[in-house]
Amino acid sequence: MPPRSVTYLLGFMTAVCVVCSLMVSTAAVLLKDRQDANALLDKQRNVLVAMGALKSGEWASRQKIESLFAQVRPVIVDLRTGEETREIDPATFDPFKAARRVETSRPAPENLARVMRVPNHALVYKVFKGDRLDMLVLPVEGKGLWSTLYGFLALDHDLTTIHGLTFYKHGETPGLGGEVDNPLWKSLWPGRKAFDETGAVRIQVIKGKAGPPESDPYHVDGLSGATQTHNGVTHLLAFWLGPDGFGPYLAKLRHSAPAQPGGASRD
């Protein structure tokens, strides 16, 4: 067999590279839809955990998650005004991008949660019993020791009592700050009070042991050996429940007529 020319070899290698690139690109495109669907399902599962509809760590099929999530109404809130808006479709809204694009967010004031930017809009989840609001699930995020913690806080219909707290993404140390995932620690949150009678944010993770919700409503047990992480939880809740987060929205909900399941409240 005569030796191949350099031109032939270069052409052959180029063709192989092009074919491989096309195969990888095609696979990435095909996988992205599945990855996006799985990410959405995981977020829905964590909303349900915060609501108490699923137990922390409980496995659930896609069908069960979608069935349970049917009772949840996603709503877009304008954090600049505290009003709900119908101008943005919750189904296509990307909270992560909204919080990081300059045109859809604003610099956060100095804060202990180390939140850098506040999105103009946020996606919240309303759960209705009949025509009355039964629960509200809010997205929360803030710095722990090593990472940003992303989670959901569920408030009961009084918008003060905590129904549940869960984190779906973080990089804290397993066995220390990573204990924010521990079902036993999560079980300490239901029944605690996020606000006092004056409307001030009071919920706090303390060093050591807290009493039961009935006698010590504003405190939750600290995480042993993870002071900076549990302080981070306190700070991120204070930020997102405060005036730069969902505080104005919560105040308007409390003073509005019973919310209707079709979307924004009617004055």
The tens digit of pLDDT for each residue in 102-111 reads 999 999 999 9
- pLDDT tens, position by position, 208-232: 999 999 999 999 999 999 999 999 9
- In 3D space, the residue among 184, 182, 189 whose CA is nearest the CA of residue 51 turns out to be 189
Residues forming a β-bridge with 107: 117
How high is the pLDDT of residue 195? Answer: 98
How high is the pLDDT of residue 28? Answer: 62
How many degrees, rounded to 5, is the angle at CA 137 between CA 31 and CA 252? 135
SS3 state at 222: coil
Q: Which residues contact 73 (CB under 8 A, 6 or more apart)?
A: 125, 126, 127, 128, 261, 263
Strands 204-205 and 219-220: parallel
Strands 72-78 and 148-156: unpaired
How high is the pLDDT of residue 4? Answer: 57
φ, ψ (nearest 5 deg) of residue 193: -110, 125
Helices (H), 155-267: 183-186, 227-240, 247-255
Strands 204-205 and 162-169: unpaired
Q: How far apart are CA 39 and CA 35, in angstroms?
A: 6
Give the gyration radius of the chain's Cα atoms.
23
Answer whether 0.85 is exceeded by the pTM: no
Which token pair is 171? Answer: 């990089």
Instruction: Assign residue 159 a region (left: φ > 0; alpha: ψ between -120 and 50; beta: otherwise).
Output: left
- pLDDT tens, position by position, 42-61: 888 888 988 888 887 788 89
150 pLDDT band, cuts 50/70/90, is very high
Which token pair is 161? Answer: 């009592």
Q: How far apart are CA 137 and CA 125, in angstroms?
A: 5
Per-residue pLDDT for 6 more than 80? no
Per-residue pLDDT for 148 more than 60? yes
- In 3D space, the residue among 196, 244, 202 whose CA is nearest the CA of residue 220 turns out to be 202
Buried b (16+ CB within 10 A) or exposed e, 140-175: bbbbbbebbbbbbbbbbbebbbbbbbbbbebebeee
DSSP 43: H
Q: Who wins on pLDDT, 262 or 17? A: 17
- pLDDT tens, position by position, 154-169: 999 999 999 999 999 9
Per-residue pLDDT for 20 more than 90? no
Do 77 and 121 meet the contact criterion of CB atoms below 8 Å apart?
yes
Do 96 and 53 meet the contact criterion of CB atoms below 8 Å apart?
no
How high is the pLDDT of residue 141? Answer: 98
- pLDDT tens, position by position, 59-100: 889 999 999 888 899 999 999 999 999 999 999 999 999 999
Strands 132-143 and 148-156: antiparallel
